[in-house]
Structure 1
Amino acid sequence: MSNEESRNSLADQAAAWVPPWQRPTPPRNTPAPPREEEPETAAPPAAPPVAEIAEAVDTQAAPGDAAAEGAAARVPRKQPAPRRRVTAAPEPPPELDEAELRGALEAILLVVDEPVAETTLAEVLEQPAARVGAMLDQIAAGYTASGHGFELRRAAGGWRLYTRPEYAGYVERFVLDGQSVRLTQAALETLAVVAYKQPVTRSRISAIRGVNCDGVIRTLVTRGLVEECGSEPESGAFLYRTTILFLEKLGLNSVDELPPLAPFLPDDVEELSDVTR
């Protein structure tokens, strides 16, 4: 192509060029030229709730991780409410009515083999000791008023049922049946000396009776009527006293209830005492 032809072609193109604002608008139903599709971007994930963040920080943070500890400190955590320990108060023992308390005491007193204290009965029945003592007094007064062949009385610091003295002959014939083993006169005298002079040594007993009483003392100890209770400070000799069995057999609450000895002593007892010393 010559230079002239090239210039004519450029001139034709310039003459045929139409500015954009003068170009005709394409019809609306004309499909728009396809645009390059932009790559889809994923939507940002929804923020987890505060409780889940705190839980994740607690479970994922390693010990000593300052960033994790700071995040956990910034996120408030719901603390569980402290549990209140409720301790049930012990239930008080049921209070027995008068008839049941009376029957329970009578049943126990029928099977005891030695006097039983009020405190022991109160512990067994789970009742106040004052109430048990008042009921025992009431039972004893009722037996006496009704004229029963037995009675309830205090003995050796406790309570026990005993036969009445007026029926002792019948009880003796039934129990002993002519085969009783009674204490000898020497044993009875020695037991009386121990009862009124206790605590007393064997030498003192022998001096009062005027005979050696070693064998009799051994018999009384074997029977459970006398027991050792220490030794004399001056001589080191053993001291003897009566036992609870002795009080039980005589139906006494203490040795203070022994009858006075003065009416049975001779007039020259002081002279005899000085001679034995």
Structure 2
Amino acid sequence: MEFNELKAITEGLLFASGDEGITIKQLARVLNIPEQTIEQLLEKLKYDYNNTERGILLMQSHDVFHLTTKPEHSPYFKRLLETPQTARMSQAALETLAIVAYQQPITRTEIEDIRGVKSDRPVQTLMARSLIEEIGRKEGSGRPMLFATTKDFLTFFGLTSLEELPPLPEGIDTDQLEQETDLFFEKFTEHMDDTDYK
């Protein structure tokens, strides 16, 4: 296989690895070539990104390599997030997101019990935006899927951990599901209004 073809495949593997990134050992195993060749491929990619008008960079964090956007382009990414087409979510989606954030891990049925309505579409919307994800199945009858928030959720709302979520008032009666939903939604939207990613 030619060097340029290997470089193209390496670039694709870096892209496919996403935020998790990929190591030289992993690349060498997948491509079935020596690690020294992988190092040369990565150096060539790094050179290409740094010396042409490209929108991405090759970053290295310890032994892990991943692609990222150029810092000088960040105002445009912020603007993208602020456009109504990409940033606006329905009240149902925000309400569902707040419930998942405070009650995770949680099943779709449990979400619907709290909201009082079917939640298939809001859950699909949140998964499509990578704000929630499936993390396994609950023990018991039917083994329903469990949902939780993602790393993108934290990034989107400017949080470093779930501990930074605004606290709910003490003494919530969890049996009063309608009131609980209102509290979730109110607190969550208040926090969203305090972030730059409205």
TM-score (norm 1): 0.36
Higher helix proportion: 2
More RCO (CA 8 Å, sep 6+): 2
TM-score (norm 2): 0.46
